[in-house]
Amino acid sequence: MTPPGLYLQPLAGARTLPPLCDPTVESVADLKQPGEHICTRFCQISHLFGNAYRCETTGAVHICDINCNQKIFYDNHSQICRLSRRIFSNQEILMEDIRKRTTPGELDCNLLPRKNSRSG
């Protein structure tokens, strides 16, 4: 079963998908165990175009955007995608989450600048 947010599409002619990418396996035809493919750091990932990346072992495609579920914490201020190595700012992710939760026209009072009570 594919985790939500990860778009995996095997190439035509792919017989089976490995449980993990094995660096010694050169093609899908060499794989003996059928199962779900999980891309890891051992995969050979190539950049197709835009946000699209492909695993060379199986041909599985990963779309790396704000909804990427392969992100891990990189430092205190950012996250990195394990597959594409794309870096996402935590502030960018927070703002996207806020946009998804609020309806158009609704203001989040916590995001508004505070007025200084001493001025006057």
* Model pLDDT for residues 28-82, shown as the tens digit of each residue: 445 445 455 677 778 888 888 888 988 887 788 888 888 888 888 888 888 888 8
pTM, entire model: 0.47
| Nearest of 67, 62, 63, 110 to residue 92 by alpha carbon | 67
Position 89 scores a pLDDT of 84
Position 75 scores a pLDDT of 85
* Model pLDDT for residues 72-117, shown as the tens digit of each residue: 888 888 888 888 888 888 876 667 767 777 666 665 566 556 666 5
**Mean pLDDT for the chain overall:** 68
Spell out the residues 6+ positions from residue 97 whose beta carbon is closer than 8 angstroms to its own. none
